[in-house]
Amino acid sequence: MFENLSDRLSGVFDRLTKQGALSAEDVKTALREVRVALLEADVSLPVAREFIKAVEKQATGAAVTKSVTPGQQVIKIVHDELIGVLQGEGDPGKLKIDNPPAPILMVGLQGSGKTTTTAKLAKRLKDREGKRVLMASLDVNRPAAMEQLAILGQQIGVDTLPIVKGEDPVAIARRAKTQASLGGYDVYMLDTAGRLHIDHELIAQAAAVRDVANPRETLLVVDGLTGQDAVNVAEEFDDKIGVSGVVLTRMDGDGRGGAALSMRAVTGKPIRFVGLGERMDAIEEFHAERIAGRILG
Ligand code: GDP
């Protein structure tokens, strides 16, 4: 997930720990390399800058440079700062689904992995929390996407709202709500239409559905491989629709990881889950400590 960044950082820190005694200048030099590594991982410039500033402030003082293990101390500071950058409030994996039936709105661009993630989360809620989940596709312009959700539903044993031709997304959302109440479901998930770019129609549709469903969670699915673009997409969706969290997909790929590091700092929104493959169980909740551990190798 963070192979390149992780390799680069371990190179820098190996040298630092081998050096033994460290001057403030040695630490600064090492942190310049860390900064370059972060930027190469596609971390946004202001985030990288702030990060290095915060580390430098703590790591160049006498308490570190005069300690017996200065290199280790610098690593510990970087580790803690990474957690600070990554961590949102509360438990990322805990979806707000009290008061059944709880609506969850899924939004994102086409191809981001939205439908797959909808099904993965539904399966998770069913398997781990014993919830009865109903999924509905609102992608009326792409019958194949509606069909895809129905197929995934069958695969994972989660019900999908029957497809009615000619219905608009708001009507589908209303029907999902009624069906979820009458059918005694705990959660209903609305998989909204995706498009290749954020356009007026996409936003207007998602906003109309949001206003009808009054979702407990609005999860934005973004492709982690797209780096800073993923962060820009998140900013725009949050601005126009309001999201309660982000799911970063394709974190199993060889992406540079920058999106994970910049997301919360830039958008103020926590990453809640990461997608780690195409299989229905390839999803993990986003744990800042675990991710920081992976980055530092
Ligand atoms: P949507 O258009 O946003 O609904 O995207 P889909 O859910 O149809 O996903 C597009 C493709 O990406 C599918 O082939 C998925 O199997 C794949 N995909 C989704 N999430 C992940 C992930 O976390 N890792 C990988 N490797 N592939 C994923």
- Which numbered atom of ligand 1 lies nearest the CA of 118? 7
| pLDDT value at residue 143 | 92
Q: Tens digit of pLDDT for each residue in 91-132? A: 999 999 999 999 999 999 999 999 999 999 999 999 999 999
Q: Tens digit of pLDDT for each residue in 222-277? A: 999 998 999 999 999 999 999 999 999 999 987 778 899 999 999 999 999 999 99
Is 250's C-beta closer than 6 angstroms to any atom of ligand 1?
Answer: yes
Mean pLDDT of all residues in 75-80: 95
| pLDDT value at residue 1 | 77
Distance 111 CA to ligand 1 centre (A): 6
- Which numbered atom of ligand 1 lies nearest the CA of 120? 20
Strand arrangement of the beta sheet that strand 271-275 belongs to: 159-160, 133-137, 187-191, 102-108, 217-223, 245-249, 271-275, 283-285
Is 112's C-beta closer than 6 angstroms to any atom of ligand 1?
Answer: yes
Q: Tens digit of pLDDT for each residue in 4-30? A: 899 999 999 999 898 878 899 999 999
Is 252's C-beta closer than 6 angstroms to any atom of ligand 1?
Answer: yes
ipTM of this complex prediction, to 2 decimal places: 0.99
Q: What span, in angstroms and rounded, lies between the C-alpha atoms of 288 and 87?
A: 5
Is 147's C-beta closer than 6 angstroms to any atom of ligand 1?
Answer: no
Q: Tens digit of pLDDT for each residue in 138-169? A: 999 999 999 999 999 999 999 999 999 999 99
Residue 190 confidence (pLDDT) above 90: yes
Contact 99, 117 (CB under 8 A): no
Annotated binding-site positions for GTP? 108-115, 191-195, 249-252
Is 137's C-beta closer than 6 angstroms to any atom of ligand 1?
Answer: no
Distance 113 CA to ligand 1 centre (A): 4
Predicted TM-score (pTM) of the model is 0.94
Q: Which helix (H) or strand (E) segment is 72 a member of?
A: helix 70-86
Is 194's C-beta closer than 6 angstroms to any atom of ligand 1?
Answer: yes
Residue 49 confidence (pLDDT) above 80: yes
Distance 212 CA to ligand 1 centre (A): 27
